[in-house]
Chain A
Amino acid sequence: MTPEIIHQIKISIPYFVPELMLSATFILVLIGEVLTKRSTYTGFGIITAGGLIATLFLSVQMYKLPETSIFFRMMVVDQFAIFFKIIFAISAVLIVLFSMGSRELRKYSAGEYYCLLLAVVLGMNLLASSTNLLMIWLALELVSIPSYLLSGFLKDDKLSVEASLKFVIYGSVSTAIMLFGLSYLYGMTGAYEINDLRAAISTTHMNSVVLLMTVSLILVGVGYKIAAVPFHFWLPDVFQGSPTAITAFFSYGPKAAGFAFLIRFFYGVFAQGGPDYHVVGTFHWPTLMAMIAAITMTVGNVVAIWQTSMKRMLAYSSIAHVGYMMMGFVLLQQQGIQAILFYLMVYMVMNLGAFLVVIALSSHMDSDNLSQYRGLGSRSPFAAAILAMFMLSLTGIPPFAGFIGKFYLFAAAIHAKFYWLVIVAVLNSVVSFVYYGGVVRRMYLEEGSREAIPVPVLSRALMIVLAVAVLVMGLYWSPFADYSQRSAGILFENISLAFR
């Protein structure tokens, strides 16, 4: 190694500590798995959660540091990346806590489970900060490949194995198609790094048809990761078949990472100082994005109405929420990106909260059929009240956080002058009340079994924490909004500096 490389590694390592902490935890759990005879979800869960909390603290400490490119501009550590690292760590800690009490997982090895989970979190962290095509693709695969295994973790369950087959086929086809798009992008620009790509695209004249095709191929990979229509077919089956804790994880973590990649890549490559995409001369890119958003939320909400499985219903609901978040991305404006980041925080709390209740109740229910929720109001008043709260928040009813999140997204779309998109989104929110409200109706107005369901103490405590968070974000949201504004702002400062 030349002295230059050693020097670069030396100055990069301090910015890489969260990922190193995750890797260290991964190795610790792996060694633990080999050394212990009978692994328990609680024991390994505590180690994993400890590692993730340490990662969280290390990430929070780095939020104040100025933006830095590390490892020969393979990655960048800025507030945008750190924002995502923080929410990934928080959501992963919640998932680890959900998994500890899960009954369906108990038969299978705990060490392997947490190792795979940590590997996905590491991949998400890398994806949020990668600025190099190779690094982006590697990080995307590091998120995907352990995910395939996690979705098929219940080896003796037919549904879980089927889910993992569908996941592996859809996932690897989409990432392969995206790689093909990246190869054309490399050929046209001769660059790997996002800033070099932007410079090359803005200075050299390119064949617009080829560029449009290239971007479409890349959009396949991104669309699969965030599950936007028409690349959403894998999601309902994968969500239904996977272990419930993993479903909760998939509904949030990898999607948030996909958004980080979407924003960093599209913003980094196609922004030219203004709100428009600089992709192809005459092609109106914002309209395409707006249509993807509108179709995604409509498909998600309408199909969710007919679902009879709770997990499947939440799967379609998560597709709908991706549609809402895409509203922030029609134009490359700070309002939009900021609204997406704020909604990601809100969505983490309310969506994981809903899954937490489902997981806590699942051990006393025969199936995840919605009819099992009949009369829950009298069987377990506490869990029913919390679940009702999350359902109302997901619909977007004040005073819960979902309302504020949607308000910011709608405001961003209005600011971008996409009024029809706002109307579609408002109508969609009304439609979504049919199925979210349906759960509440089943719990309180319909009669079911009378047998009481006890809720474990840990789940109860977590439910209270998440419910309080939903209320706080709904009533006193300005610190969170400021935080998302600061995190989104860094991208815009850099671009405007580059074009001054």
Chain B
Amino acid sequence: MNWVEPGLYHYLVIAALLFCLGLLAVLSRRNGIAVLMGIELILNAANINFVAFSYYVTHELGGHVFVVFVILLAAIEAAVALAIVFAIYRHFHSVEVPNVNVMKG
């Protein structure tokens, strides 16, 4: 395999790394905003996969179209999630996820 020319495998490895980093951020970060950033990383890992597969494997535009929708939905999700984080800040005076724990059991 030619390791210098960028090819499908490079993109897949980057996407997989990005996915792992995103998952790590979601699982380890205490700050609510950082958790949301982790979610964005996971979504973008999927985006890279879609574009790479679409360019190298299927040679059509379907994957690109998928990515446009994903970006749109990521923005919507971020808007909703940030609104909820604001509401959390009003009640708990903190955006640290472990502090938001009135309900247990």
Query: Which residues in A have some Cβ–Cβ distance to B below 8 Å?
Result: 133-134, 137-138, 141, 145, 148-149, 152, 155, 158-159, 161-166, 168-169, 172-173, 176-177, 179-180, 182-184, 186-187, 190, 192, 236-237, 240-241, 306-307, 312
Contacts and interface: CB of A to CB of B under 8 A. Distances in A.
Interface string B16-58: 0001001100100000100110110011011101101100011
Interface of B: 15, 19, 22-23, 26, 32, 35-36, 38-39, 42-43, 45-47, 49-50, 52-53, 57-58, 62-63, 65-66, 69-70, 73, 76-77, 80-81, 83-85, 87-88, 90-92, 97, 100-103, 105
B73 to A, nearest CB: 5
B48 to A, nearest CB: 8
A485 B65 CA distance: 38
A306 B76 CA distance: 38
A161 B57 CA distance: 44
A241 B103 contact: yes
A165 B63 contact: no
Contacts of B73: 138, 141, 145
Contact of A158 (B53, B85, B102): B102
A126 to B, nearest CB: 13
Given A176-B39, A180-B19, A186 B81 contact: no
A312 B104 CA distance: 10
B53 A312 contact: no
Contacts of B47: 183
B80 A145 contact: yes
Contacts of B23: 177
B89 to A, nearest CB: 10
Given A165-B84, A165-B97, A173 B26 contact: yes
14 contacts: A137-B70, A138-B73, A148-B81, A163-B103, A173-B39, A176-B46, A180-B49, A183-B46, A183-B50, A186-B49, A186-B50, A186-B53, A187-B52, A312-B105
B105 A307 contact: yes
Contacts of A166: 100
B91 A161 contact: yes
A82 B65 CA distance: 28
A162 B77 contact: no
Contacts of A165: 32, 84-85, 88, 97, 100
Contacts of B39: 169, 172-173, 176
A165 B33 CA distance: 11
B50 to A, nearest CB: 5
Nearest to B62: A192
A241 B73 CA distance: 26
Contacts of B70: 137, 179
Contacts of B42: 173, 176-177, 179-180
Nearest to A239: B103
A164 B63 contact: no
Contacts of A237: 103
A176 B87 contact: no
Contacts of B57: 187, 190
A131 to B, nearest CB: 15
Given A164-B84, A187-B49, A159 B102 contact: yes
Nearest to A157: B91
Nearest to B83: A149
B105 A236 contact: yes
B23 to A, nearest CB: 8
B87 A161 contact: yes
A105 to B, nearest CB: 17
Contacts of A159: 102-103
A155 B46 contact: no
Contacts of B76: 141, 145
Nearest to B81: A168
A306 B58 CA distance: 53
Given A183-B53, A236-B105, A169 B97 contact: yes
Nearest to B19: A180
Nearest to A135: B69
Nearest to B101: A162
A243 B103 CA distance: 15
Contact of A164 (B26, B50, B66, B87): B87
Given A148-B80, A186-B66, 14 more contacts: A133-B66, A134-B65, A137-B69, A161-B84, A162-B100, A165-B32, A165-B85, A169-B39, A172-B81, A176-B22, A180-B19, A186-B62, A187-B49, A187-B57
A149 B83 CA distance: 9
A169 B19 contact: no
